[in-house]
Amino acid sequence: MALIPSQVLRVAILLSYFSILCHYKALDMPAHQTYGGSWKFLTFIDLVIQAVFFGLCVLIDVSSLLTKGADSREQERQLKKLIGLRDWMMAVLAFPVGAFVVFTFWTLYLYDRELVYPKLLDNFIPQWLNHGMHTTVLPFIIIEMRTTHHRYPRRSWGLAAVCLFGVGYVLWRRRRKGFLRFWSR
């Protein structure tokens, strides 16, 4: 029952996401007190997605270590369901949302910092936390893609799910501004 490096790495990544989330939630920022709190930021949603994804990866690693050598078909069936969920999350949420957050943030930051990360935020968010939220996501996902075989859903289903997530996020954000006021009657 030996641990392999990728399993240890997943635990370390999961712990780093928990650390980032705890430090982020401990920040006393005015934006966290308004409608939606931290959930209005795609960066925060992405951190939660990454933490859930790597938590699922660790759960699968622990389950496979504990059930190795057991002849229970039910345990094997449950493990396959978890692996299917992990692969779906990777293809539909973890990679697309993570890559979008990293590339969009840094592109806008380089173009005009004030659009996404005004200098005022330097007083609230330490530099290491900014990189934890906007930089490390992509290398962690790429490492996961390189160390673990994933079975991806059909392209049409994957694109539909990513688009559904994106549209859902945009509609939720627009609702705040009264765009969908007629739905809340």
Per-residue pLDDT of the chain (185 residues; tens, 9 = 90+): 456 788 888 888 888 888 888 888 777 776 667 777 778 888 889 999 999 999 999 999 988 888 876 677 888 888 899 999 999 999 999 999 999 999 999 999 999 999 888 898 888 888 898 889 899 999 999 999 998 888 888 888 989 999 999 999 888 877 655 544 444 44
What is the number of residues in the chain? Answer: 185
Other C-beta atoms closer than 10 Å to the C-beta of 56 total 19
- Give the whole-angstrom CA distance, residue 59 versus residue 164: 27
Instruction: Convert the pLDDT of each residue in 119-135 to its tens digit.
Output: 988 888 888 988 898 99
Task: Tell me the C-alpha to C-alpha distance, in Å, between residue 110 and each of 13, 22, 73.
Answer: 27, 27, 53
- Give the whole-angstrom CA distance, residue 132 versus residue 141: 13
Q: What pLDDT does 36 receive?
A: 72
DSSP 102: H
Instruction: Convert the pLDDT of each residue in 83-133 to its tens digit.
Output: 999 999 999 999 999 999 999 999 999 999 998 888 988 888 888 988 898
| Domain range list for the chain | 6-154
Entry pTM: 0.85
